[in-house]
Amino acid sequence: MATITSKPETLVGKRIRRREDPRLITGTATYLDDIQLPGMHHACIVRSRHGAAKIKSINIQPALDLPGVFAVFTGKDTEKVGPVPCGASLPGLRVPHHHLLAMDRVYFVGHPVAVVVATDRYVARDAADLVEVDYEPLPAVTDPEKAIAPGAPPVHPEWPDNTAFTFHQEGGEVDKAFAEAEVIVKERIISQRLIPAAMETRGAVADWKVGDKTLTVHASTQNPHLLRSILAAMLGIAENRLRIVAPEIGGGFGSKIQIYAEEALMGFISMKLGKPVKWIESRRENFMGTIHGRGHVDYYEVAAKRDGTILAIKLKLIQDLGAFHTLLTPAIPTLSVLMMPGLYDCKSIRADIVGVFTNCMATDAYRGAGRPEATHGIERMVDILAAELKLDPAEIRFKNFVKKDAFPYSTATGLIYDSGDYAAPLQKALDNAGYKELRAEQQKARTAGRLMGVGMSAYGEICAFGPSPATPAGGWESATVKIEPNGGVTVMTGSSAHGQGHETTFGQIAADELGVGMEDVQVLHGDTSVVQYGIGTFGSRSVSVGGPAIYYAIQELKEKIKKYGAMLLGTDDVSYANGTCIDNKTGKSMPLAQIAAASYRAMQLPPNTEPGLVATYFWEPSNFTFPFGAHIIVTEVDRDTGAIAIKRYVAVDDCGKIINPLLVDGQVHGGVAQGLGQALWEQVVYDDNGQLVTGEFMDYAMPRASNMPWIETSHTTTPSPVNPLGVKGVGEAGTIGCSPALVNSVVDALSPLGVRHIDMPLTPEKIWKLVERGGKA
C-alpha cells in the first residue's frame, strides 16, 4: 500500500516544476508517431498542386502496381463519408460541401485528392508520386479584397461573389457620435495569415477491430470527445463503438481543435481494409493542409473628442476564410467584433464583417482566435488617435479605461466583463519600464539622430470558453475524482492537455482541496474510454472551466468522506482537513486511506450512502472570464538595415488568481513569441495562382532563440468572480498583448519621419524602405 502523506501546506500559488516532465526529458513519452500496431499500414495523401483546377481524370493503376501498395482511394470511394464539418452557424452562412477527398475540382494547394495505403511509409510516399492526376488549371484568387472585387474568379462557381456571409453588429448611437465627434481617425490595418506550426504535426492511427466492430483512433487532437462525436457521425458508427486516444500531443495552438478529413479517412481505410493504418502529416502538408490563423483586412474609424475621449468605433472587417470552412472558421471574426472596444468605456460600436472565400487553406482558431486581431486594431487606433491629438499614449488609455468600480461592466458588444482594474497593470508596466526616463532617453536619441521607440498595449481578452449557449458544442467541462481503495487520488478531466501542464496544475488544485500530497494525485486525460465526456482544451479554458469542475467534484466527495468518517469514528460531528477526518468532540482522527478502504470494503455503510468514493461533476460557467494586462516594448530601428532591436520587453498580465507562477511565465513567454512572430517575421504568402510560397520552415520565419528578447514578466491579481478558484486564463495573453505594443513601438520610433501606421510583419526590408523614402510607404 502506498504511503499517503498528509500535507498541511498549500500548493496552489507555488512555483512547482511539472510532473509531466520526467517522461518528456527522457524521450520516453508516447507521441502519435511513436505508436506501432501489429499489421499497421501507412497512408500518404496525394494533394493538389494547383490553387484551382478541374480534375479531368485520375489514374491510380501505376501506384497500385508498385509492390507493397495495398490500396488507393479517390473521391468517388469516400463520397458517402463525411463531410468535414463546420460547427459555426451564422445567418445565411454559405457552407460548401467539404468532401474528404476532392471530387471533380480542387480549391486550394494541398487539397487532398487521393490516398495511398502501403506496407511502409517510404513505399506509400513513392506510390503517391505515381498517382496520375490530370488537371485543367483554373484562375485562382488568394487575396480577400481582390476576391470580392467585380470580375474575380469564383472560388465556388455557385457563389460568384465569393462571399460566404456578411455579419452586422451594432450597439449605442454610432451615427450620432460620429456627427458630434471633434476628431475622426481612420486606418486600414492588416492582421496577416499565419501558420500555427505546432512542432508535432497532425496525424492519426486508426484501428478497426472487425470482431468487436469497434474503432480506435489515436489522434493528435485538443478535444478527443468532440472528435469522437463528429467522427462517429462522419463514419456512420455508434459513438460508443469509437474510442479516441489523444496520446502525448506536441502542441496545438488551436490547429488541433478542428476535425480534419485525414482523421476520418484513416477510420474509413481501417474499416475498409481491416488493418490498422497510420498517417503522419509532413511539415509541408502541415503548412498547406492544417488551418491557418488571422487573415484580416480591417478598416477602422474612431470618433473622439479633442481631450481624447473615445466616442464610437466603426469596423469593416474583411475575413479571408479560405476555400472551405473548418470547424470554427466563420465564427472567429465574430470574436474580434466582441472584443472591438478593448478595455475602453466606449458604448457605441458598429461592425460589418464580410467573410470571403479564397483559393487558400481555411483560416480558423490560432492562439487568440479573433482577439489578437481585435486588440491589434483597437490598440493601433488608440495610438493613432493619441498621435493625432498629440497626447501621450499612456494618458489616452488611462482616460478611456473602464473604471475599476464599473464591474461587472456591460460592453456595447453584449459582453459582461467580470472584473478588472485596467489601470493597474499599465501603471505597473510604466513603473517597471521607467517610462519617464525612457521618454527622456528617447529625446536624446532623437537629437542624436537615432530611431528609438516606446510602444505599449493595454489588452483584454475573452477566456474560459464558455457558457454553453455561447459555444457551438457545449462550454462546460467535466471531472471525475476518485479516491482509490488505498487512498490514492485519481482525477479524470475532460480537458485535454497538449503542453499546458494539466497534470501539474490540476494536481495542485486536487491536492490542496483534499489535503493530500501531489504525489498521491494522478491526473488522467485524453482517452475517451477512460475519461467521461468532456469538451477539451482551447480558448484558455482549462484551469478556468476544467479546474472548477475538479473543485466541485471534490466538494461532493468531501461530504461523502465525512459521512464515512463520522460513521467510522462513531461521532456526528466531523470535519475534514489535511487528508484526515477529525471528530470535533474528541479530537480522534482517521486518515483518508483508512476511510477509503472502509468505503470500498463496505462492511458497514453510512445511511443513504453508496460504497466507494467517486464523484463526477459537469461544471457550467455563468460567464466568460476577462483577463487583461499591459505590455511595453522599447525598440531601436537601424537606419542602415531596417533591422529592429528590442531593447526592453515589459509584460504585466492579470490572469486572476495564479495556480503555478512558473507555468504562467511559460505561457506568457510562449504567447509573446507567437505575437512577436506575427509582428516581425511570420506571414503566409500565396501567389496569384494560389501557390503557397511559404511552404516550409525555410520560407516561413518562425522565431528562434537568438531573435527573442528577454521578457520581464510580472502580474497584478484581480480574481474572477465567475469561478470558485478566482482564475481567468493566460494561454493566449502574451500573443494578444504583444503585436500592437511592438508595432506601436516601431511606429513611435519612426514617427519623426511622419510614419503613422505600418502593417505586419515589420520586416527589415519594409522598414528600410520606409526610412529610405523618408517615411513614405
Partner 1 sequence: MTRKITLTINGAKRSDSVEPRMLLIHYLRDVAGFTGPHIGCETSICGACTVHLDGKAIKSCTLFAVQADGRQVLTIEGLAVDGKLDPMQEAFWNEHGLQCGYCTPGMIMTAKQIVERNPHPTDEEIRHGLEGNLCRCTGYQHIVNAVRAAAGKA
Interface residues with partner 1 (CB under 8 A)? 17-18, 20-22, 24-31, 33-34, 36, 121-122, 197-201, 248-251, 253, 280, 282-283, 498-501, 662-663, 665-666, 669-674, 696-698, 702-706, 708, 710-711, 734
Task: Return the beta strands (E) in 331-485 as ranges.
Answer: 349-357, 409-410, 416-417, 451-460, 477-483
Burial per residue of 302-319, b for 16 or more beta-carbon CB atoms within 10 angstroms, e otherwise: bbbeeebbbbbbbbebbb
CB of 278 to partner 1, least distance (A): 11
Other Cβ atoms within 10 Å of 761 Cβ, number? 21
Give min distance, CB of 493 to partner 1, in A: 17
Helix (H) or strand (E) holding 770: helix 764-772
According to DSSP, the residues that pair with 756 across neighbouring strands are none
Instruction: Say whether 376 sits in a helix, a strand or coil.
Output: helix
Q: Please report, in angstroms and rounded to a whole number, the separation of the first and last CA atoms in the chain.
A: 72
Helix 423-433 vs helix 393-400: crossing angle, to nearest 10: 160
Which C-beta is closer to partner 1: that of 207 or that of 248? 248
Which residue, 308 or 501, has its beta carbon nearer to partner 1?
Answer: 501
- To partner 1, the closest distance from the beta carbon of 118 in angstroms equals 14
Whether 563 contacts 606, CB under 8 Å:
yes
User: Residue 390 contacts by C-beta under 8 Å, 6 or more apart in sequence?
Assistant: none
What's 545's DSSP letter?
I
Nearest approach, Cβ of residue 735 and partner 1 (Å) = 10
Q: Are 560 and 633 in contact (CB under 8 A)?
A: no
Kindly tell me which of 283 and 305 has the beta carbon lying closer to partner 1: 283
Closer of 420 and 761 to partner 1 (Cβ): 761
For 434, phi and psi rounded to 5 degrees? 70, 60
For residues 178 and 313, the answer to whether their CB atoms sit within 8 Å is no
Q: CB of residue 145 vs partner 1: minimum separation in angstroms?
A: 30
Burial of residue 765 (CB within 10 Å: 0-12, 13-18, 19+) is exposed
Cβ proximity to partner 1, 388 vs 527, nearer residue? 527
- Beta carbon of residue 364, minimum distance to partner 1 (angstroms, whole number): 17
Amino acid at 121: R
Provide, rounded to whole angstroms, the least separation between the CB of residue 187 and partner 1.
Answer: 29
Q: Nine-digit cell at 516?
A: 493530500
Distance of closest approach, residue 284 Cβ to partner 1, in angstroms: 8
Of 266 and 663, which has the nearer Cβ to partner 1? 663
Q: How far apart are CA 697 and CA 287, in angstroms?
A: 9
Q: Where are the beta strands (DSSP E) in 68-129?
A: 69-74, 105-106, 112-118
Q: Which is nearer to partner 1, 31 or 178 (CB)?
A: 31
Residue (of 130, 364, 112) closest to 253 by Cα position: 364
CB of 123 to partner 1, least distance (A): 10
| Residue 138 or 673 having the CB closest to partner 1 | 673
Comparison of 22 and 414: residue with beta carbon closer to partner 1: 22
Question: With respect to partner 1, which residue has the nearer C-beta, 126 or 173?
Answer: 126
Contact 130, 63 (CB under 8 A): yes
**Pair 500, 565: CB distance under 8 Å:** no
How many angstroms separate the Cα of 318 from the Cα of each of 94, 107, 294, 482? 16, 20, 11, 49
- Shortest Cβ distance from residue 638 to partner 1 (Å)? 18
What is the smallest separation between the CB atom of 37 and partner 1, expressed in angstroms? 13
Question: Are residues 715 and 631 in contact, defined by beta-carbon separation less than 8 angstroms?
Answer: no
The Cα 65–Cα 190 span in angstroms is 49
Give 591 or 666: the residue with its C-beta nearer to partner 1: 666
Residue closer to partner 1 (CB basis): 220 or 623: 220
- Contact present, 175 and 301 (Cβ < 8 Å): no
Q: How far is the CB of 366 from partner 1 (least distance, A)?
A: 11
The letter for the amino acid at 545 is V
